[in-house]
Amino acid sequence: MTEITSRRGLLFGAAAVSAGALITGCTSNEPSGSKDEPAGNDQPAADDKPGKKVTIGFAGPQADHGWLNAINDNAKERAEKYADVTLEITEGSNDTAQQIGQIETLINKKVDVLVVLPADGKALTQVGLKAMRAGIPVVNLDRIFNTPQAYRCWIGGDNYGMGLNAGHYIGEKLKGKSGARVIELAGLDNLELTKQRTKGFDDALKNYPNIKKVARQAAEFTVESGQAKMAQLLQAQSKFDALWNHDDDQGVGALRAIEQAGRDDFLMVGGAGALSAFQAIKQDDGVLKATVLYPPTMAASAIDLARALGQGKGVGGMAEFEIPASITLYSAVVDKTNVDQYMPTGFQ
């Protein structure tokens, strides 16, 4: 997915550059007021001021997990912030057929813009295409559709980047330690995102020849599975220097297993950005030293983008007239130095 994203990014970049050239070409005859003024300064950019009324349809998966729950909350709260936005939200579902039905209902209701976080991106591509053909632009949230024709804009997290940044963080912390051993507690192995996170992690570790990944076990994104798998890992690896855990929810269980085993001889990096993880990092009295973000704020941003789309505006701070075609969020590393800044985004 990362490769596709970057390739699309390249295409988009090229398109933006040529569009920019076109704009400059068209406007170069006109004398410009001041030289340092950005080209697109007078374009309409989305801001907080009420504008044209927009009805946004939102369809997401069942919020049976901390992160997904935070996604719904973020979307709702952001929509409430705008007086000109009406949010039509469907009941979350992990059933593909049901979600297709829900999106079709939203299409029939003629919402202005759709925001879709599909339970399964590939399986929902067709209904994305259907919406686009019906003239309803789709903001595809996180789990990507099969073809760019099925959405106007994609915004989501960077699973590969999570692994990469976790790997680099651990690499820097273990720098100079020869024969360092690292283990990985992965998420659900039948999800593609888990494989991307692992690949990013492995790629990052290649930069540090002194580090060897000695074990990897997959849990199921649940506290229970995190505890069970971590307890086994701790038993299997009597000595290691660092642990990367893909998900802060299962991390609650993993931390419990670590505590129960009485181990504190390694550093742990989490993933996602749960409030409990932030609190543990801030307290700094356990093994958890950092977590790599997969920000649920992307849902709020998706509402912003959908509103801008509905009002035909661009994004403030960017030169383009239109909103971008693709936005990949950064998987920032949150540790003791910056945890206060991220604390408000932590989800339960």
Partner 1 sequence: MTQPVSPPRDSTDKVPEAQPPAWRGLLFRADVRTLSLLGVLAALILIGGITKPDEFLDTRNLQLVLTQASVIGVVTVGMTFVIVSGGIDLSVGAIVALASVWATTVATQEYGFVGILFTAMIVGVGCGLVNGVLIAYGAMVPFIATLAMLASARGLALQITDGKTQIVTVPSVLDLGERDAYVLGIPPLVLVFAVVTVIGWLVLNRTTFGRRTVAVGGNPEAARLAGIDVRRQRLYLYLLSGLCCGIAAFLLIVLAGSGQNTNGNLYELDAIAAAIIGGTLLSGGRGTIVGSVLGVLIFTTITNIFALNNLQSDVQQIAKGAIIVAAVLVQRRTASTT
Q: Are strands 85-89 and 54-59 parallel, antiparallel or unpaired?
A: parallel
Query: Could you tell me which stretch among 30-38, 137-145, 162-170, 224-232 binds partner 1 (CB under 8 A)?
Result: 224-232
The whole-angstrom separation of Cα 333 and Cα 169 is 8
Number of residues that bind partner 1 (CB under 8 A): 39
Exposure class string for 274-293: b at 16+ Cβ within 10 A, else e: bbbbbebbeeeeebbbbbbb
In 118-192 the beta strands, taken as DSSP E runs, fall at: 138-141, 153-156, 180-186
Taking the least distance from each CB to partner 1, the nearer of 163 and 314 is 163
Contacting partner 1 within 293-322 (CB under 8 A): none
Of residues 44-63, those binding partner 1 (CB under 8 A)? 62-63
Residue 215, interface with partner 1 (CB under 8 A)? Answer: yes
Q: Which two tokens stand for residue 303?
A: 């509402």
Side chain identity at 109, as an amino acid letter? K
Q: Does 95 bind partner 1 (CB under 8 A)?
A: no
Report in angstroms the alpha-carbon separations of 260 from 53, 228, 263, 280, 285.
Answer: 55, 11, 8, 16, 15
3-state helix, strand, coil in the chain (%, to 5): 45, 20, 35
CB of 159 vs partner 1, minimal distance in Å: 18
Strand, helix or coil for residue 287: coil
Q: Which of residues 107-126 bind partner 1 (CB under 8 A)?
A: none
Of 111 and 117, the one with the shorter C-beta distance to partner 1 is 117
Q: Choose which of 6, 55, 69, 98 interacts with partner 1 (CB under 8 A).
A: 69
252 binds partner 1 (CB under 8 A): yes
Please tell me whether residue 1 binds partner 1 under the rule CB under 8 A: no
When asked if residue 289 is in the footprint of partner 1 (CB under 8 A), the reply is no
Among 8, 256, 263, 282, binds partner 1 (CB under 8 A): 256
Considering only residues 172 through 191, tell me which ones interact with partner 1, judged by CB under 8 A.
189
Smallest gap from Cβ 98 to partner 1, in A, equals 14
Three-state SS annotation for 274-286: EHHHHHHHHHCCC
Point out which residues bind partner 1 (CB under 8 A): 62-66, 68-69, 189, 214-218, 220-224, 226-229, 231-233, 235-236, 238, 249, 252-253, 256, 259-262, 274, 276, 348
